[in-house]
Amino acid sequence: MTLSGKKILIGITGGIAAYKTCELIRKLIKLNADVKAVITPTARKFVTETTLRTLTRNPVYCEQFDVPEWKPEHISLADSADLFLIVPASANTIGKIANGICDNLLTSLVMAFNKPVILAPAMNCNMWKNSFIQENIIKLEKAGFHIIPPESGELACGYEGTGRLSDIDKILEKVLKIFNEGNFLKGKNIIITAGGTKEPIDPVRYIGNRSSGKMGLALADAAYSFGADVTLISTVKVDKPYKVINLSTAIEMLEVVKNEFSDADALIMAAAVADFRVNKASDHKIKKADCSQKLKVGGGEPSIEMPFNASNQEGKEENLALELVKNPDILKEISVIKRDNQVLVGFCAESQNLIENAKKKIESKNLDFIIANDISNKEIGFNSDYNAVTIINKSMNEVKIDKTLKKELAKIILKEIFK
């Protein structure tokens, strides 16, 4: 394995484990990586710039506005690297990053860095157990940072416990894994849908659902990080380095998916698409007074009534009937035009008989895979950072994945689909 052509920033914070980082740098250089060291002012107490300059064969960076280049150092360094490793990551630096503080070159650099960041914390075991530190670690994990947890054993401060820097070879393994995975979807054109559709009732109100878009966004981010050309079709407005098409309704989603699909290698429908829409939404805001006239939005016989049936002061009924009509089934329509070499993936959100219903959907929608998630469990699924799923393929083989961060789960799902 070689890291030839890979540009790695190695951040060192103030901690006794900083001496081990020198060994890590040596191993990275042996694999032909181009390594630049960025240190915090406190790290200077633990490792010298001469050591780091000699090992990296590059200048060492510490002060933020020290260099005569026109571009601020934290921006030019961030632009120049493929990966940022922070080894050791002190409790102080972890806290700053988790809270968006940029008070030195290293922390500013992290904020400006939009490629993978690995943090290998090292500290006293009581500090590591501290709830503030743990909350910060969870926050960083949710934000997509790669955390290599500390190991337990004898600590430099004299304590025994969890806190000592992970084995250097484990950190190196993670670096190699990130670069290996980096390109496995290169050349693939993948469409991902995210969020819940919004079906208008009038210019103010809509029928929606609890989907936050997190699952679809995690898949799009993961596919992009694996080198795919990503088109995200989303009901949630987001700013991403890949193509994003924003829309609201199921009809709009069908139109856009159809347009994009002919050039795609895969369509992954994580969006929660409304099965029904209001037949002819009102052009004007519906007034409360309209309800006493038993207004029906849409016309025809009402199929669903609002669940209240109160009377106003004059004893008149205050009902509003909405006529709902069936939306097109996007996956079903796409399955008709799908070529053999295109992959169609659906999600299945069910609160009972999950696997049975998922298997029915894989057949009725002619899918290659269905990802079944149980939406009766409040800790996962809708609007949670976590999900637990069963991936089912056409031959009805099942792969079960327990509760995992959606960001991580997205990677597992993509690897399973494209393996």
Residues at the interface with ligand PMT (CB under 6 A): 211-215, 250, 269-273, 275, 327, 329-331, 346-349, 361, 373, 375, 381-383
Looking at residue 43, the DSSP 8-state letter turns out to be: G
Indicate which residue of 102, 125, 157, 348 is catalytic.
Answer: 157
- Alpha-carbon gap, residue 275 to 304, rounded angstroms: 13
Residue type, 3: L
Min CB(208)–ligand PMT separation in Å: 12
Tell me if residue 338 falls in helix, strand or coil.
coil
Q: Which of 390, 388, 340 is nearest to 366 (CA)?
A: 340
Q: Of 155 and 250, which CB lies nearer to ligand PMT in the complex structure?
A: 250
Min CB(200)–ligand PMT separation in Å: 16
Q: Of 162 and 212, which CB lies nearer to ligand PMT in the complex structure?
A: 212
Rg, Å, the chain Cα set:
26
Written in H, E and C, the secondary structure of 155-214 is CCCCCEEEEECCCHHHHHHHHHHHHHHCCCCCCCEEEEEECECCEECCCCCEECCCCCCH
Q: Of 297 and 349, which CB lies nearer to ligand PMT in the complex structure?
A: 349
Min CB(321)–ligand PMT separation in Å: 23
Min CB(379)–ligand PMT separation in Å: 12
Q: Which of 337, 380, 194 is nearest to 269 (CA)?
A: 194
Min CB(194)–ligand PMT separation in Å: 6
Structure tokens that stand for 5 in this block: 């052509």
Q: Of 247 and 375, which CB lies nearer to ligand PMT in the complex structure?
A: 375
Q: Of 78 and 215, which CB lies nearer to ligand PMT in the complex structure?
A: 215
- Alpha-carbon gap, residue 292 to 144, rounded angstroms: 52
Min CB(336)–ligand PMT separation in Å: 12
Distance of CA 47 to the CA centre of its chain: 36
Q: Of 20 and 365, which CB lies nearer to ligand PMT in the complex structure?
A: 365
CA atoms within 13 A on the CB side of 407: 13
Q: Which of 54, 51, 74, 70 is nearest to 62 (CA)?
A: 74
Q: Of 113 and 347, which CB lies nearer to ligand PMT in the complex structure?
A: 347
| 348 in catalytic set | no
Min CB(322)–ligand PMT separation in Å: 18
CB-CB contact of 288 with 269 (8 Å): no
Q: Which of 222, 220, 218 is nearest to 182 (CA)?
A: 222
CA distances from residue 239 to 116, 182, 246 in whole angstroms, order as listed: 18, 21, 10
- Residue 146 host element (H or E): strand 146-147
Q: List CB contacts of 319: < 8 A, sequence separation 6 or more.
A: 291, 294, 305, 306, 308, 309
Residues annotated catalytic, as ranges: 157
